[in-house]
Structure 1
Amino acid sequence: MFSSTEWEECKFSSTPKGIASYKTVSSVQFWSSVGQCLKVFSPLVKVLRMVDADWKPSMGFVYGEIKVAKEEIITSLGGNEKAYKPIIDIINKKMKGRLESSLHLTSYLLNPYYHYKDPQLQYDPDIMNAVLDFFDTLLCDNFEMQRQVVTIDLPKYKKKVDRFGRDLAIKNCRVNDAEFDPASWWGLFGGTTPHLTKIAMRILSLTSSSSGCERNWSTFEGVHTKKRNRLEASKLNNLVYVQFNANLMEKNQKRKDRNMEVLLANDSISAQEWIVDVDEVDPKTVNEDLGTDDNQAPRESPRTRELSDEDFESECEEQVFEEDEYESDGVQIMEVCGED
């Protein structure tokens, strides 16, 4: 934009703010800083999108994915401790007391995607202390159940005994894709540890964000309006149920067709829905400037058109004027004004 002739002819190019903007955008240091920001925030955006998604419960992945994000940030910054240490300290500070609770760490250990990939997790003292605290809190009044889960069931899972050691169980949790669900995995291979399986399925089926509830509330707001404020509770719930799930099915189908996450950095081009004026911007010119094809061209926003009375007249409809005469149908109508 700043290298075009339109900017030179623009009245803002000579203003102090315009000159400052030009110097900022043309600065190499500015774009270097932008690159550093992308290296830091791209892994964090992936975690946020995973937590905010509706297609998989995220409780079993929060701690593990944040750990992966921190490793990616350190790698992207070249292992320079002076560069990554302030960032990692901020992330750890935000996690403390929120995202490293006994529930998060227990779900992290019971998620086979992480446990089978790194068997050394069971020897981490922080994780095992959190697991013991979790079961002590959950089963505080049942010592016999605690003994069964902690000393009998949990070692079978950690040592991959019985069904946990099958090739199908090991291969089925190698990839964290749309088909992998840790709760379903426990339902298939945790038959020999029924008590631990029941607990694992419950905590691995939890969400870690209220975004799904908020979207449901938005659907309620769209259905229950001022004109439809007399809907019965049962009918209102049914309408919201149908509409929300229909939108969810359509969203999941679009995601499968695209096979990508539109808010990630590598797919950002497909997420840009530019609102442009049709008369001012030529799509071909935009494609040449951006180096894109027609599929990535900016979307044209429909322009509002003024309506007149002629727009509501049908072509096959005959106009009726006051002077037209009508054929009588033989019915006489008497006008009565007042009393006789």
Structure 2
Amino acid sequence: MCGGVYRLKQHIAQEGKNAKKCQGMKTTKEKLLEAQEKCKKALDEAKRKREEKIVRELELREEVHVSRVGGSEEVTCVGSSEPHKLGPMDKWTIAIDPTATKSESLIQQRLNKELWKERLHEQYHSMHVTNDEFKQMCEAIGQFGPGIEPPTMFDLRGRLLEEEYARTKSLLQEREAEKMKNGCSIITDAWSDKKRRSIMNVCTNCADGTSFISSKEMSDVSHTSEVIFELEDKAIEDIGPNDVVQVVTDNASNNMGAKKLLHVKRPRIFWTSCASHTINLMLQGIGNMPQFKKVIDQAKAFTIFVYGHTRTLECMRYFTEGKEIVRPGVTRFASNYLTLDGIQEKKDQLRKMVVHSRWNSLKDVKSKKGKNATTTILNPSFWKDVKLTLEGCRHQREKITDVLLSSDTTEAQ
């Protein structure tokens, strides 16, 4: 029902005219008053947000000022007091003529609607309609009226691109000043795209934020210590050796080799290991300890089986009421502990699931992996090990995860 939740809040808060006022026949007076207070606050907050949105959109519209440039062919259009040049689509997009017949008006309205749908689908399919710039663009088009001409491809590739580049450079001036004042960090990251091309990104980070410097495809070279050192050294030269405080990379052996080469040439610049990568290795080490490895492997095998088949996944979600047992973490090894926690939280639902006919009737469950998954959940020692694992490393895990979450940004690095 449209507006159902909003009307329910009005019902409990005893406000508005769209719902019958709640009498609270099946609850105590204290609980009713508490619920009314919460719903009133929610309604007031929703009203405040609506008012702020209206004010914000009005401010956006007021920021738009269109300067019309006259042409050789000028006419006064319906609904406009200023003459301007008409374009080839004006016969379909001008305001509805009040003298037109009803059928003609409907045809023109339908054409206007289809034209907007086509334009939005082709040109703005990736743009969020609540974006401020999109709203300002619509306001500018509305102020101009019929006859607006879009920029040519030559303009987009040339003049407009150059203007946007200059604007972006001006926005970075404050960061450049911060780099010169307090220095910056150089951050590198190697990754592979969908075509399996090896790409190395170089960024700088200072107190004002992170800036992209360069990106280089390195599929044709081996990522040796010398290659990485040359890339880092060039970035330092481009930025200025006096403005660079440290270089941040992961702990791979080739990066450690580049660290030694940099220390020889530039002993005043620090080389810092990536905090996320370091903590990820710590979590991996904890997971490889004998007292934790067995139960983690069992939990991984169970989740891989459940999530590897659509019917078992649907069955699991049925018993957990749509909740997941796999909870992705910042890193792969952090996810192992979060998944163990999720399995422990849904212990009763999972044990009920594997003895239910809905689970046993699935064809996949009758396979070897399916039988192992069922055995794992029904095994009391598995749950004992899960509990001991979570209790044994909960304190350390929470500290590590907190640091990991705070450090997994280039700003923290």
Higher relative contact order (CA 8 A, sep 6+): 1
Compare the two structures and name the one with the higher strand fraction: 2
Q: TM-score, with normalisation over the residues of structure 2?
A: 0.21
Normalization by structure 1: what TM-score? 0.24
